[in-house]
Amino acid sequence: MKIIMLGAPGAGKGTQAKQIAGKYSIPHISTGDIFRANIKNGTELGKKAKEYMDQGLLVPDELTCDLVVDRIGQDDCKNGFVLDGFPRTIPQAEALTNALNELGQKMDYAIDVDVPDENIVKRMSGRRACLECGATYHVVSIPPKKEGICDACGSELVLRDDDKPETVQKRLDVYHEQTQPLIDYYKKAGILKSVDGTQPMEDVFAEIVKILG
> Catalytic residues, which ones?
13, 88, 127, 160, 171
C-alpha distances (whole Å) from 50 to each of 17, 40, 72, 88, 179 are 23, 10, 23, 17, 19
Nearest to residue 211, comparing CAs of 190, 186, 192? Answer: 192
Work out whether 138 is an interface residue with ligand ADP (CB under 6 A). Answer: yes
| Choices 12-20, 38-46, 71-79, 149-157 (CB under 6 A): range interacting with ligand ADP | 12-20
User: Pick from ligand ADP, Zn ion, none: which does 127 bind, CB < 5 to 8 A by kind?
Assistant: ligand ADP
The answer to the question of residue 201 lying near ligand ADP (CB under 6 A) is: yes
Question: Where in 93-122 is the site for ligand ADP (CB under 6 A)?
Answer: none
Among 123, 134, 195, 208, binds ligand ADP (CB under 6 A): 123
Residue 195 binds ligand ADP (CB under 6 A):
no
Selected binder of ligand ADP within 29, 39, 53, 111 (CB under 6 A) = 53
Question: What's the N-to-C CA distance of the chain in angstroms?
Answer: 11
Q: What is the number of the residue whose Cβ is closest to ligand ADP?
A: 32
Is residue 52 within 8 A of residue 161, CB to CB? The reply is: no
In angstroms, give the least distance from the CB of 194 to ligand ADP.
14
The full DSSP string for 164-203 is SHHHHHHHHHHIIIIITHHHHHHHHTT-EEEEETTS-HHH
Contacts of 8 (CB under 8 A, 6+ apart): 115, 117, 120, 172, 175, 179
Question: Which is closer to Zn ion, CB of 115 or CB of 130?
Answer: 130
The piece of 21-29, 55-63, 95-103, 181-189 that touches ligand ADP (CB under 6 A) is 55-63
Cα three-residue angle 210-211-213, rounded to 5 degrees: 65
Nearer to ligand ADP, 104 or 130 (CB): 130
User: Contacting ligand ADP (CB under 6 A), which of 12, 80, 150, 195?
Assistant: 12
